[in-house]
Structure 1
Amino acid sequence: MTTTTTNPYLAGEYAPVRSELTEHDLEISGALPDWLDGRYLRNGPNPIADVDPDTYNWFTGDGMVHGIRLAGGKALWYRNRWVDSGAVAGRLGRRAPSEEGRSFLHGTGANTNVIGWQGRTLALVEAGLACADLSEELDTLDVCDFDGTIRGGYTAHPIEDPETGELHAISYNFGRGDTVQYSVIGTDGRARRTVDITVGGSPMMHAFSLTRSSVIVYDLPVTFDTRAAVSRAVPGPLRPLAALALGAIIGRVPMPGPMAHRLPRNGSGPLPYRWDPGYRPRVGIMPRDGGDADVVWIDVDPCYVYHPMNAHDVDGRVVVDLVVHDRTFDDDRRGPTEGGQHLERWTLDPAARVCKREMLWDASVEFPRIDERYLTAAHTDGWVVGSDTTELFGGLLGRVPATGGEPTVRRFGADVSLGEFVFVPSSTTASQADGALLGLVTDRREASTRLAVLDAQTLEDIASIALPQQVPAGFHGNWLPTT
């Protein structure tokens, strides 16, 4: 395991942990509400083997899920488990579920998100890699391909429709040619609808948005980098020729799976996507029951969107609140460090084909969340984390009113790094913002992490749970209530 490095994503609050732990009866400061009965889970990259610090990208580390079980005012356990891929399972002496024929790429275990859906725990990743079904105790059970109905990989950011319980997604991988796939997974766990949507090439499409009527597609200028891809799999003298060959295929025609399986090598090379200033940035609006020919495309200024907050319909237009990056993976290929990420509101008018952009908060923020009972409809409050500088994840937490009023802000200090905070309502009938925020707080000086439970309105402490080790800064977390 790498411990001394010039790569910031392998040191400090990002430093990988070395083993899987299980600890019971965790120490609590304050008093946990009795209505918090479930698991807080967080996924993120954690390389199991040494990687090259000169080329390692944060997005390519092996997946590891951390979990804290809460019930009856107690913190019953903490667990961390790698998501099993062939490489991870081989090093740990256990058998990984076969990915053959069930995903487009083989390699890194699902490292980006972890959700609860229809009684299942799903570790998610994008770009054609395999997602995974996990047990209650976070052990890997199987590849998640929705009973064989989604075989080219899935997405890290599906949206569960609060009204139907169905799971909507847009999935991409560089082998799909110039298309991405919109899918709807029924509550029976199988895809009931898939639509191929034509895009401008082979973009990295981290997320999408959904309203009650429409699907919102972000076709933005971070695209597949053939040179980076061949550097992972092709001997040096052959790389220029291989890059030319791939460049003639990627984003134009579908690529056969067996060819693609030779490319990834489990975090050992650069991320094969980068900022493309020549790519036409645009946003598409497709009716939920529509097809490729029904997409209305609207040009936007060059930018990148990792994480929308929410979207809803207003008088024939679509209003989207989202975090917008000026650019990403341009000069720095190790992680999203280019700066300039702010919370905006885009009003998309499909009739006029225009996008009106408004700044909601000029702070450097990311990981936007709302009360997910109101996804696809109008929300009243959102929460983001960030910093007072260009640092991606500092000690800033904000509650942002959808009306555009002044945010409620809490600053945790200069030596604190916050993970994503998730909202948990105090009951199924509670009003918006009546509940708690749960998220990981890391003290960089002490190299320690705690699970903070905060009042969602005031952002003040309710309780805090000390964890037995520092949890590396990672990606997405969710609350999975006990059913």
Structure 2
Amino acid sequence: MTLAPVENPYLGGNHGPVDVETTAYDLRITGALPGELDGRYLRIGPNAIGAQDPVHYHPFMGSGMVHGIRLRDGVAQWYRNRWVRTPSVTGLLGEAPVLGPTTATHDTANTHVIRHAGKLMAVSEAGALPVVLDEQLATVSYNDFEGKLPHGFAAHSKRDPRTGELFAVTYSVAETGGQLVAVGADGVVTAVERIEIDDKPMIHDTALTANHVIVYDLPVTFSMDAAKQGHYPYVWQNGRQARIGLMPRYGSNADIRWFEIEPCYVYHTANAYEDGDRVVLEAFRHERVFDSTWWKPIEVPPVLWRWTFDLTTGTVHSGQVDDVAGEFPRIDERLIGAEHRYSYGVALHHGEVGNLAGRGIAKHDRVSKTTQVHDFGAARYAGEAVFVPRAQDSAEDDGWLLSLVHDAERDRTDLVVLDAGTLSAEPVAVVHLPVRVPAGFHGEWFPTQG
């Protein structure tokens, strides 16, 4: 395993951090912002503070910064960015601590922003606790779910749109295996079930069906040697088995049905659903990650993949969906756990396998078996696209896709609104931000409540 180059790719260009918190009002708009968009688009990602050692810096461990845009009545009212004030961040900023002590193994909060039971939370994985934010993106408190999260939560959880329950598969460097955590619609933890795995795999995401939670046990595991060298501590393990487990929502470890698959890694799931005695899972499949170099989260262009698990025969069939290299899949979240037709991903630039942004947005149609790409051009880089339905009862692709797009020529970022139904060449609207938003991880749309 080789060391990172002195010119760390995640400390320069659009991956490089910004060093100022900005608040701006009445943002300029090109096109017409739909009046139905009443809420906030939030995006989180790593944003290192101060000088960094390029040999050891990794974006997965960078300090979290949240970027927000408030939309209402066809107007972009404000943009603001704020560091999540974990103890390490306030120390580096020279500020008084905001958060109290915690039993979590680390304090990173840089991967996703979710809202559950009225609480807006910045989340990460591997033993980090959720951090509660207020409406203006200021840090408020940790949320350990009344002491029921001794080792933290997860980067990705799945909410059942029918019951309002939240399910997550959590893990920590402090122990082998993981846990299935179920949280009621009221924010109260209803179950914590142990998942027995004889190692410490990196479990970044999960998926939900009507009766099951997906558990990934893949060949990227914790390495004490890497950690001692100051590297990102999760590495590819040649020869280790890869398997996917189907765990009943309210079951125990003894109820998990494991299916062996070809070695690979999955960061992000599009969706999963049940089809009679079969469970269908779609996700972006990586042939390998963190193998040739410890700092490379994407080594081979990932593609959308489908696994079909037969609960009667105990067999699994799998195959590639199309040839468009991509990542960061999203669906209409009203269909989480149910059969979907469309998924949306970031279409990656060819040959730029380490980039956290892509050349455009891809719309995958399971029925027509086609993929349509909205290409932003060679000098523009798109982040994850979030689907927002036009109305709560509108059709699956009747709505908009929201994505932050960096314009390398201007070194500025725009919030681009696309028509999800047509993915036409001309955006519905473009909100021009006064700053650059570094390439990051995940975005979310939070409609105005009440």
TM range, normalised to the smaller chain?
Answer: over 0.9
Query: For residues 87 and 40 of structure 2, what CA distance do their matches in structure 1 show?
Result: 27
Instruction: Report runs of 4+ in structure 1 exceeding 6 Å deviation.
Output: none
Return the match for 2:324 from 334, 359, 363: 363
Whether the 8 Å contact between 2:327 and 2:348 is mirrored in structure 1 is no
Whether the 8 Å contact between 1:363 and 1:388 is mirrored in structure 2 is no
Shift in Å, 1:5: 6.2
State percent identity of aligned pairs: 44
| 2:221 counterpart letter in structure 1 | T
Query: For residues 450 and 281 of structure 1, what CA distance do their matches in structure 2 show?
Result: 39
Query: For residues 197 and 329 of structure 1, what CA distance do their matches in structure 2 show?
Result: 24
Q: Does 1:183 align with 2:181?
A: yes
Which consecutive residues of structure 2, in runs of 5 or more, have no partner in the other structure? none
| 1:158 counterpart letter in structure 2 | S
Q: For residues 321 and 404 of structure 1, do their structure 2 counterparts lie closer, same or farther at Cα, with a shift above 3 Å needed?
A: farther
1:107-146 alignment, distance < 5 Å: 107-108=107-108, 110-146=109-145
Q: Does 1:152 align with 2:116?
A: no
Whether the 8 Å contact between 1:298 and 1:350 is mirrored in structure 2 is no
Return the match for 1:375 from 331, 336, 356: 336
TM-superposition CA deviations, 1:317-337 (whole Å, max 9, x none): 110111000000111222313
Query: For residues 368 and 110 of structure 2, what CA distance do their matches in structure 1 show?
Result: 34
Which 10-residue stretch deviates more, 87-96 or 334-343?
87-96
Query: For residues 404 and 223 of structure 1, what CA distance do their matches in structure 2 show?
Result: 38
Query: For residues 96 and 312 of structure 2, what CA distance do their matches in structure 1 show?
Result: 56
TM-superposition CA deviations, 1:338-376 (whole Å, max 9, x none): 013000111012333322112112111000000000000
Which 10-residue stretch deviates more, 131-140 or 335-344?
335-344
Q: Which residue of 2 aligns with 1:437?
A: 401
Q: Which residue of 2 aligns with 1:253?
A: none
1:321-332 alignment, distance < 5 Å: 321-332=282-293
Alignment RMSD (CA, Å)? 1.4
Q: Which residue of 1 aligns with 2:231?
A: 270
TM-score (norm 2): 0.95
Which consecutive residues of structure 1, in runs of 5 or more, have no partner in the other structure? 232-268
TM-score (norm 1): 0.89
| 2:406 counterpart letter in structure 1 | T
Q: Does 1:194 align with 2:192?
A: yes
Return the match for 2:429 from 454, 457, 463: 463
Which 10-residue stretch deviates more, 219-228 or 347-356?
347-356
Q: Which residue of 2 aligns with 1:51?
A: 52
| 1:60 counterpart letter in structure 2 | M
TM-superposition CA deviations, 1:154-181 (whole Å, max 9, x none): 001000110111110000112122x210
Shift in Å, 1:404: 5.1
Q: For residues 49 and 350 of structure 1, do their structure 2 counterparts lie closer, same or farther at Cα, with a shift above 3 Å needed?
A: farther
Aligned length, in residue pairs: 439
Q: Which residue of 1 aligns with 2:19?
A: 18
Which 10-residue stretch deviates more, 294-303 or 354-363?
354-363
Which 10-residue stretch deviates more, 280-289 or 88-97?
88-97
Shift in Å, 1:62: 0.2
Q: Does 1:66 align with 2:51?
A: no
Q: Which residue of 2 aligns with 1:218?
A: 216
Shift in Å, 1:388: 4.9
Shift in Å, 1:89: 1.2
Return the match for 1:206 from 198, 204, 228: 204
Whether the 8 Å contact between 1:316 and 1:349 is mirrored in structure 2 is yes
| 2:436 counterpart letter in structure 1 | Q
| 1:211 counterpart letter in structure 2 | T
Q: Does 1:447 align with 2:411?
A: yes
Return the match for 2:99 from 94, 97, 104: 97
